[in-house]
A and B are shown apart, each in its own frame.
Chain A
């Protein structure tokens, strides 16, 4: 069965710290890996990583895909209290029926204290 595992499940840091969130996956027919940020409402898109784009960066956030190790990391530098959220990792895969699906991990709850 396809699965996505994130670690740690929760993390508490102080403003200014750098954090690394981990995501590993076991899926058949991998297509892409996506990171989302979820505050109190719906997930908002951060990055999509594919075989042709294994590293992305946006401001203080960056992400790398390691297809050999079947994993990805999300780095946040100089954290701010506004970074407090649940960070979700999701993998797009092809089902046995030939359709597509998105499998999410449980998320990492990040708390940034002032």
Chain B
């Protein structure tokens, strides 16, 4: 499968724990995006990378959130000291170049108890 992949698909954690999600974009895509989606809402932009450079971060991305794309390929999104309000679907997308179509991964559903 050459699409965008995310791991894990589901994560249940207790409040206060740290979690890390991984996204593997389509191999030739230089742009990688992270979004958060809650029930009844559209995806909300969190951050994006062009190659290994993080070019934009949303105000939604508090200091408990950090994202990396160290070699310009896969990316990780870490949430420290999780809160119940962090429960959501975390979507990753990739694209080639500018604002061409973004291909989305299946998402990681996070539940914070």
Residues of chain B within 8 A of A42, CB atoms compared: 4, 91, 93, 104-107
With the chains together, A96 CA to B107 CA distance in Å?
A: 29
A92-113 at interface with B (beta carbon < 8 Å)? 92, 95, 97, 99-107
Is A77 in contact with chain B by the CB < 8 A criterion? no
Is B101 in contact with chain A by the CB < 8 A criterion? yes
Which of A13-21, A43-51, A58-66, A67-75 is found at the contact surface with chain B? A43-51
Report which of B43, B99, B106 forms a contact with A104, defined as CB distance below 8 A: B43
0 or 1 for each of A14-32: is its CB under 8 Å from B? (1 = yes): 0000000000000000011
Contacting pair B40 A106 (CB below 8 A): yes
Residues of chain A within 8 A of B100, CB atoms compared: 48
Contacting pair A102 B101 (CB below 8 A): no
Contacting pair B101 A34 (CB below 8 A): yes
Q: How many residues of B contact A (CB 8 A)?
A: 25
Residues of chain B within 8 A of A104, CB atoms compared: 35, 42-45
Q: How many residues of A contact B (CB 8 A)?
A: 25
Contacting pair B56 A100 (CB below 8 A): yes
Closest to A40 in B: B106
Is A88 in contact with chain B by the CB < 8 A criterion? yes
Report which of A92, A97, A107 forms a contact with B42, defined as CB distance below 8 A: A107
Chain B nearest Cβ from A81, distance in angstroms: 22
Residues of chain B within 8 A of A36, CB atoms compared: 104
With the chains together, A44 CA to B91 CA distance in Å?
A: 12
Chain A nearest Cβ from B43, distance in angstroms: 5
0 or 1 for each of B39-69: is its CB under 8 Å from A? (1 = yes): 0111111001000000110100000000000
Residues of chain B within 8 A of A45, CB atoms compared: 101-103
Report which of B40, B93, B98, B104 forms a contact with A100, defined as CB distance below 8 A: B98
**Given known contacts A101-B48, A102-B33, what 5 new A-B pairs fall within 8 Å (CB)?**
A4-B42, A42-B104, A45-B103, A104-B42, A106-B42
